[in-house]
Structure 1
Amino acid sequence: MTELATTNPADPPWLTIRRGTLAAADNGGLFVSPGYGRHPRRCIDSFEIILMREGQMTIAEDDRVFELAQHDALVLLAGRQHQGLSDYDRRTSFYWVHFRLRPKQHAIAATDQSADTNISIPQLSRPGRPERLVELFRRFLHDQEQGFASPVEADLLVTSMLAELAFHHRAEPHGAKAEALAGQVRSFIDGAFCRPDLSPGLVAAELDLNADYLGRVFKRVAGQTLGQYINARRLREARRLLQESDLTVNQVARAAGFADPGYFRRIFRRHFGAKPGDLRRLYFRVHVNVR
């Protein structure tokens, strides 16, 4: 794909991959900060996806500096020196995975080159569906610990991560005002979903807006109702707790904002296609590194 122009340091780079390409996975992990140190300086021959799970991190690649926060995704490019510019704080954690692409399968472009024959992934992005990426990472890490049935299984998971990063940036715009309002709603729900009394009406009241108007705008932008988003946010937290804590299913339900554990079990199974306990057993093995 040498016909695509490469970037200069001032351009926001995009990783462009030819359609039909399967990324070759190396290895991955979940980094959890010990409260000291920083990302090492190195230059490696593989690409790396970093998905911030919590906290903040400042990292440089050549002369570009990236300030990362929760849910930010960064693709570090092969053959370029990168290093941490700030020490880890105690809350910093992120998923990471290394992969390879053959020279004829990709190019680094200055602009989005998405077309029928290729996809483009921005080097730095904030995915619209971070839970999808987290799920892919956890599947990858669990199967890595268990042993992949085939290297192709790992390759498919990493390629799915790249597709998720690429297609997030192809959503149609809805207008700055509507997008800002939807973002305000998401921020409020993300901070209050654990309240059992949280409802679309309460969200509208807290934001001092008409409930019908708010519901219409949010559905147009987000593609789901306020009630659906509240439940999805609670379910995402429930899944995280099932995968990362020792809480019982009933305790998980209450911590995620579900007052009725029975209702939680029903909606969880309908949403994920598995019982809470079954999902916990499915993805419990994860490689964690602290250095």
Structure 2
Amino acid sequence: MFDLKLSLPISVQNGGLFISRGIGSHPARKLDSWELVFVEKGTLTIREEQTTFTVGAGESLLLWPHRQHVGVGTFADNLKFYWLHFELHPHCSRPDELPASLISLPQHGKVRDPQYVIALFRQFLNEQEAIARSTALELILLLIMQQLSVAAGELPTAEKSGIDLAYKAQQLIRTQYHLTLSTSTLAAQLHCNADYLGRVYRRAFHLTITEAIHRQRVLSAEKLLLTDSCSLSEVAERCGFQDVGYFRQIFRKAVGLTPAAWKRRYCKEHINSD
């Protein structure tokens, strides 16, 4: 048997998903641990000591230990955010003192690929439900931190035009994933060369356009599986898959479970509200 001992700079306490009902507000509290918040939908306004943060969809916020934070105003009815509590090891007193090769985490920032971050949080919550705790929680948190550390605008100036094109393609993927979509159809809409679009997209998001389309379709399918009574074939069609077998294959490759198994397992996630 191969044994590998890992020494990580962080320790996870717990995490969860907050879904607002449009009532209540974030309580005033002072924690001994760090808290990482990522907003999937809506806007969260929170004050830490004398600084007020307005955190929108696709943005993260890092709250310091031993500092009082409190919500400003009532939770919006469309607010949905993930949260994680963690500690740093004694030799590392703050996230920006982690080895430079790992992360440099801003207190408040916007990520390049929110949907990937959401997928990581969901993976974290699934792993949290396991009977035996493992270092997977810390590893997933480090992946989340790495994603949050890269601000959307921090890209080389020379690549700006190509990156702008990549972001336009990303927006089309998010709004047209249910249609027949490919690198060629996106390039035609954006009036550019398909090979060039594929290259700049991969440089910006670290995945191919086909992978991005599949990811968007799977995320949409996850929502439909939980909130709709559609059959599996109807879910597949509404998410842009013409073949239900291919849908199963892509879904399982993306999340590690069949659609039915994922639905059963997701219902166990740590979800709280107000």
Report the TM-score, using the length of structure 2 for normalisation.
Answer: 0.80
Residues 273, 143 of structure 1: CA spacing in aligned structure 2 closer, same or farther, 3 A cutoff? closer
Letter of the 1:115 partner, please give it: A
Residues 220, 151 of structure 1: CA spacing in aligned structure 2 closer, same or farther, 3 A cutoff? closer
Aligned residue runs from structure 1 range 11-50, under 5 A: 20-50=7-37
Residue range with higher mean Cα deviation, 147-156 or 30-39: 147-156
| Contact 2:103/2:145, CA 8 A, preserved across alignment | no
* Match of residue 83 from structure 2: 96
Please state how far the C-alpha of 1:123 moved relative to its aligned partner: 1.6
* 1:285 to 2:268 alignment: yes
Q: Distance in 2 between matches of 1:95 and 1:89?
A: 15
Q: Distance in 2 between matches of 1:103 and 1:114?
A: 14
| Contact 2:31/2:65, CA 8 A, preserved across alignment | yes
* Match of residue 221 from structure 1: 204
Q: Distance in 2 between matches of 1:95 and 1:168?
A: 19
Please state how far the C-alpha of 1:231 moved relative to its aligned partner: 2.2
Q: Distance in 2 between matches of 1:143 and 1:36?
A: 30
Aligned residues: 267
> Tell me, which stretches of 5 or more residues in structure 2 are unaligned?
1-5
Letter of the 1:66 partner, please give it: F
Q: Distance in 2 between matches of 1:135 and 1:24?
A: 21
Q: Secondary structure at the match of 1:187?
A: helix
Q: Distance in 2 between matches of 1:23 and 1:240?
A: 31
Residues 247, 100 of structure 1: CA spacing in aligned structure 2 closer, same or farther, 3 A cutoff? farther
Q: Distance in 2 between matches of 1:219 and 1:154?
A: 28
Letter of the 1:87 partner, please give it: T
| Contact 1:47/1:98, CA 8 A, preserved across alignment | yes
* Match of residue 276 from structure 1: 259
Aligned residue runs from structure 1 range 102-141, under 5 A: 102-107=89-94, 115-116=100-101, 119-141=103-125
Q: Distance in 2 between matches of 1:86 and 1:276?
A: 38
| Contact 1:268/1:274, CA 8 A, preserved across alignment | yes
Q: Distance in 2 between matches of 1:223 and 1:153?
A: 22
Residues 216, 129 of structure 1: CA spacing in aligned structure 2 closer, same or farther, 3 A cutoff? closer
* 1:175 to 2:159 alignment: yes
Please state how far the C-alpha of 1:219 moved relative to its aligned partner: 3.6
* Higher relative contact order, chain-length normalized (CA < 8 Å, sep 6+): 1
Please state how far the C-alpha of 1:102 moved relative to its aligned partner: 4.1
Please state how far the C-alpha of 1:234 moved relative to its aligned partner: 1.3
> Tell me, which stretches of 5 or more residues in structure 1 are unaligned?
1-18
* 1:84 to 2:68 alignment: no
Residues 244, 138 of structure 1: CA spacing in aligned structure 2 closer, same or farther, 3 A cutoff? farther
Q: Distance in 2 between matches of 1:28 and 1:216?
A: 36
* Match of residue 194 from structure 1: 178
User: Which of 196, 201, 207 pairs up with 2:190?
Assistant: 207
Q: Secondary structure at the match of 1:121?
A: coil
Deviation sequence 1:124-171 (CA, Å, 0-9, x none) = 233334344333432433444x454136554444344334434788x9
| Contact 1:54/1:69, CA 8 A, preserved across alignment | yes
Residues 119, 20 of structure 1: CA spacing in aligned structure 2 closer, same or farther, 3 A cutoff? farther
| Contact 1:238/1:256, CA 8 A, preserved across alignment | yes
Deviation sequence 1:62-117 (CA, Å, 0-9, x none) = 233322222212111111122222432211111112112244323365xx97535x
* Match of residue 11 from structure 1: none
* 1:62 to 2:49 alignment: yes
* Match of residue 162 from structure 1: 145
Residues 151, 166 of structure 1: CA spacing in aligned structure 2 closer, same or farther, 3 A cutoff? same
Q: Report the aligned-residue RMSD.
A: 3.2
* Match of residue 250 from structure 2: 267
